[in-house]
Amino acid sequence: MKMKKNVQKAHCAVDYAFQRIGGKYKGRILWVLREGRLRYGELSRAVVGITPKMLTQTLKELEADQLITRKAYFEVPPKVEYSLTDTGMELIPFISQMRSWGEKQMSTN
């Protein structure tokens, strides 16, 4: 697996952080993984509206960025579980904060 960073050339730490969890689905995926591992199919149901292509692609980016871990079980039928790394878990409090802010905004608008 490639381990390249999905961060181009950050002008500052804010820039860097936003590049790392930017994209349309990264925040939501990290968020639904907050309570434990989920299988691919569970993720695709939890992240409403995501296509298999985008799910797979985003999961790969998050893995390359070491925010999540992929664990494949060699069984039939196939089974793959995704979970947060320690670094990924460190983001949950912030995302939680963002979520509270978002909830408040959505209700007052």
Partner DNA sequence: CAGAATCCCCCACGATACTG
Partner DNA sequence: CAGTATCGTGGGGGATTCTG
H helices within 1-107, ranges in order?
Answer: 13-21, 26-32, 40-46, 52-64, 86-89, 92-107
Question: Containing H/E element for 69?
Answer: strand 68-73
Distance, in Å, from the CA atom of 66 to the CA atom of 56, rounded to the nearest integer, reads 15
Strands of the 79-84 sheet, one edge to the other: 38-39, 79-84, 68-73
- Out of 13, 74, 77, 86, the only residue in the binding site for DNA (CB under 7 A) is 77
Binding mask 37-76 for a second copy (x = CB under 8 A): ----------xxx---------------------------
Expressed in angstroms, the distance from the first to the final Cα of the chain is 44
Binds DNA by CB under 7 A, chosen from 7, 16, 17, 23:
23
Smallest gap, in angstroms, from Cβ of residue 76 to a second copy?
Answer: 33
Residue selected from 1, 2, 13, 77 as contacting a second copy according to rule CB under 8 A: 13
Interaction site with a second copy (CB under 8 A):
5, 10-18, 20-22, 27-28, 31, 47-49, 87, 90-91, 93-95, 97-103, 105-106, 109
